Structure 1
Amino acid sequence: MAVPRTFTEPRPATEAGRLMVAGMSSSPSRFDRGHTDDLMSFLAASPTPYHAVANAAARLEKAGFRQVAETDAWDGGTGGKYVLRGGAIIAWYVPEGAAPHTPYRIVGAHTDSPNLRVKPRPDSGAHGWRQVAVELYGGPLLNSWLDRDLGLAGRLTLRDGSTRLVDVDRPLLRVPQLAIHLDRNVTGDGLKLDKQRHLQPVWGLAETVRDGDLIAFLEEEAGLDAGSVAGWDLMTHSVEPPAYLGRDRELVAGPRMDNLLSVHAGVAALAAVATAGDPLPYVPVLAAFDHEETGSQSDTGADGPLLGTVLERSVFARGGGYEDRARSFADTVCLSSDTGHAVHPNYAERHDPTHHPRLNGGPLLKVNVNNRYATDGSGRAVFAAACEKAGVPFQSFVSNNSMPCGTTIGPITAARHGIATVDIGAAILSMHSARELCGADDPYLLANALVAFLQG
């Protein structure tokens, strides 16, 4: 695929490139907004990790990929394949001429975001209110979930063991904040929320709370027989759609950018590389995991065996053995793509004084010498080469020495599989909020950098 070399002038819609899955936007920009328009659609359609991987799989199938079952024997043929497990997806494209020891180029990301998740006994309430019992997932900015219209979505497991996705994408729930008249100290002492008592949303009025009401409601919403649901993985989401923001609409506000922005970019990049028809020296891979926000320790998390198992089985299916697997992994590189912190205009002192990443300035190269990020000098060279090939600017991010640094799937991937890994991502504000903010051009820049990386 021909990667755009420059982004200084807008291009007509007919030259939008393979990444552009929608047409030109009327928004002023250095280039068209087709990719960002499509990201906004992806965010709106993916309220949970289960929906995100289903949507990713549907897009990959349009590019010729096919699902393979983990319980089946795999063939070593060329083409695109993917494995779907829960809220995780691993997809790879075997090019013509790939040997068993051919290395991989991996884009890693995660599908989960902090939110409020439904407890095993969901029906609660008091004083005439019908409520839903929720548990906090990850590290949400709690105040961002107050007084916000919330939907409910997730996965229902039926008595026969099958699953069904459900999405009530309309105002259903709300976590009401206490009026200032009943909390006069809130403006002086700040908002203080008890995670157990103050975050339980209301969803109606009822004098008597009955067990089973919420699940019975969701069975009806999903068109299922009463009593057919045996288990559930449900979570709240803001029903406000993503939107362009700013005088020139150069910003995008929306949910779950951490980290569906990277998942969407990875899907677009892998599909573009797979359909370009160009010779590839590597096997390009997308690995989108669940449970990063809680430590990645699950069968669908980056600290589980899923990625390593898939890569090894692909080597063996192509006729290789352990030696081929070792040779392949030794020359494999992973870009761990996760959102990072843009400089905040109201809190610039919280950032390193010499590293102030800006929105629409291109993707971040994330560095931490204590291995909270996996990037080293060699990794920087790999990413810099990809950005140069794509004509994409990039920025460096490092934390203020006085601030603890977050982490990603990058160090986990490097340590678990012995794979060279580089941490990157798009810059955003309001990370872990129910609604985050990115630059409208950055998703496109990130996707094109990923295309160049996967091409080798």
Structure 2
Amino acid sequence: MAHSFDTDTEARGLIDYVDASPTPFHACEQAARRLAAEGFTEVVETAPWPTDPGRHYLVRGGSLIAWDTTGAHGSGDGPAAGFRVVGAHTDSPNLRLKPNADHVKAGWQMLAVEPYGGLILNSWLDRDLGLAGRVTVRTADGIESRLFHDTAPILRVAQLAIHLDRSQNDELTLNRQQHMVPLWGVGDRPGDVRRYLAAQVGVGHDDLLAWDVMTHPVEPSARIGRERDLIAAPRLDNLATSYAGVRALLDAVSTEPARVPVLVLFDHEEIGSTSERGATSTLLPSVLERIVIAAGGTREDYWRALAGTVIASGDMGHATHPNYADRHEPLHQIRVNGGPVLKVNTNLRYATDSVGAAAFTLACEQAGVPMQTFVTRSDLPCGSTVGPVTSSLTGATTVDFGAPALSMHSARELMGAQDPAMYAAALAAFLAPA
């Protein structure tokens, strides 16, 4: 039976996780730390797979997958026991540094950036921004990747004064190339971002070879509202699910479920998932197959295991916005602090069918948390998730779900402070059904 999750503890835990995870690389690092502290050991993909039952995880860039075979081994079901998988993603829309970023304009030192994903452009204006990411450096042994996280407010995308465009309150048009360039100093010479990045990771200027660097708002996440019953934070889409998934896995493994519980956190969902570590990659299928083979199974056992697998794809859901209630399906109103959200779309932008919906409904019942159901208005387009992709790659029953939020894809989003605990409880029950 799933353990209970304390509301204040999980709200604080989510805030800490988000603030320590400005990039997908950091989100995986933070998740790995939490897993390692509870007895999970890291697996390197190029090394032989562990054959003994146990708890393991691996990291592929900005993606992570973790699992525990202890219960399945003890149940006697063998390699074809099947999996319970919770999937989420670690990336969020933001502004990412271009390779040749330094330039000067009108006496301002600026950094060229490229918008990543479907960000709300105007939410990035006039915010204090920092830089974080992964850089690859030359070492005596070859090349090495290092992470850095600068919390100093060094960048700003400045808004145009109202005096110079009095129409912007009625219609603001932002050009991604021209208007979203952050400034980071004053002068007639570029600021030398390569030297800055080299200093962040402790190498010489010429030893910095390449980077994956992105901006992030430096304002800390916070409990807000009259009763402090809301959480305002960046990257809740989808770090709220990543955090809940980690907490759920740690809870679920304590019961040693008969099916192998798996958590997979993918990168690049916001741009279509097509990469070596996105949901369309070999990451999930290859790891599931290697788990079966390491347990002494065959290819036949692998396909049998997939046939008995259920996947829960988690992403944030749209709470009903009080100022734009007409943009929501009137028969499916969603409230923050109202519990997890089952996502349904007949055109399969979400992978949910009645079998998957039943599995998630039973998980919420087992966890003792309420469940809501989201459907997009029939005259509006519907977003998608990693659910349809993982479903098609594995052939497994898949259900899409989320936690309710406002301002999705803004530089600062909003969710209920009670939802992280309910979210984690539902996912723990899904991974370890009674």
1:174 aligns with 2:174: no
**Equivalent position to 2:137, from 127, 152, 158:** 158
> What aligned pairs does 1:371-390 form with structure 2 within 5 A after superposition?
371-390=348-367
Structure 2 residue identity aligned to 1:363: P
Tell me the CA shift for residue 398 of structure 1: 0.2
Structure 1 residue identity aligned to 2:223: Y
1:58 aligns with 2:33: yes
The alignment partner of 1:204 has SS state of: strand
Taking the aligned partners of 2:414 and 2:384, their CA distance within structure 1 comes to 20
Once the two structures are superposed, residues 400-432 of structure 1 have per-residue CA deviations (whole angstroms, 9 ceiling, x without a partner) of 011100000000010111111100010000000
Tell me the CA shift for residue 187 of structure 1: 2.3
Taking the aligned partners of 1:383 and 1:65, their CA distance within structure 2 comes to 26
Taking the aligned partners of 1:381 and 1:240, their CA distance within structure 2 comes to 40
Tell me the CA shift for residue 154 of structure 1: 0.2
Kindly tell me: are residues 97 and 394 of structure 1, through their superposed partners in 2, closer, same or farther at Cα, counting changes over 3 Å? closer
1:118 aligns with 2:113: no
1:302 aligns with 2:284: no
Which residue pairs with 1:48 in the alignment?
23
Tell me the TM-score normalised to structure 2 length: 0.97
Taking the aligned partners of 2:412 and 2:24, their CA distance within structure 1 comes to 17
Which stretches in structure 1 are left out of the alignment for 5+ residues?
A: 5-18, 21-31
1:407 aligns with 2:379: no
Structure 1 residue identity aligned to 2:188: E
Which residue pairs with 2:289 in the alignment?
312
Tell me the CA shift for residue 127 of structure 1: 1.2
Taking the aligned partners of 2:169 and 2:27, their CA distance within structure 1 comes to 39
Structure 2 residue identity aligned to 1:185: S
Tell me the CA shift for residue 222 of structure 1: 2.4
Kindly tell me: are residues 325 and 119 of structure 1, through their superposed partners in 2, closer, same or farther at Cα, counting changes over 3 Å? same
**Equivalent position to 2:125, from 132, 143, 146:** 146
Taking the aligned partners of 1:192 and 1:75, their CA distance within structure 2 comes to 55
Which stretches in structure 2 are left out of the alignment for 5+ residues?
A: none
Structure 1 residue identity aligned to 2:3: V
Tell me the CA shift for residue 2 of structure 1: 4.3
**Equivalent position to 1:68, from 37, 40, 43:** 43
- Percent identical among aligned pairs is 52
Which residue pairs with 2:207 in the alignment?
228
> What aligned pairs does 1:237-256 form with structure 2 within 5 A after superposition?
237-256=216-235
**Equivalent position to 1:271, from 247, 250, 261:** 250
Kindly tell me: are residues 198 and 140 of structure 1, through their superposed partners in 2, closer, same or farther at Cα, counting changes over 3 Å? same
**Equivalent position to 1:206, from 178, 187, 190:** 187
CA contact (8 A) 2:223 2:232 kept: yes
Structure 1 residue identity aligned to 2:186: L
1:327 aligns with 2:304: yes
Taking the aligned partners of 2:382 and 2:354, their CA distance within structure 1 comes to 19
1:187 aligns with 2:169: yes
Tell me the TM-score normalised to structure 1 length: 0.92
Taking the aligned partners of 2:50 and 2:114, their CA distance within structure 1 comes to 43
1:196 aligns with 2:180: no
Taking the aligned partners of 1:261 and 1:97, their CA distance within structure 2 comes to 28
Tell me the CA shift for residue 366 of structure 1: 0.2
Tell me the CA shift for residue 225 of structure 1: 2.5
Taking the aligned partners of 1:47 and 1:36, their CA distance within structure 2 comes to 18
Tell me the CA shift for residue 96 of structure 1: 3.9
User: More displaced, 390-399 or 75-84?
Assistant: 75-84
The alignment partner of 2:100 has SS state of: strand
Tell me the CA shift for residue 97 of structure 1: 4.8
Tell me the CA shift for residue 3 of structure 1: 2.9
Tell me the CA shift for residue 209 of structure 1: 2.2
Query: Superposition RMSD on alpha carbons, in Å?
Result: 1.1
Taking the aligned partners of 1:382 and 1:242, their CA distance within structure 2 comes to 33
Structure 2 residue identity aligned to 1:201: P
Tell me the CA shift for residue 273 of structure 1: 1.8
Count of residue correspondences? 426
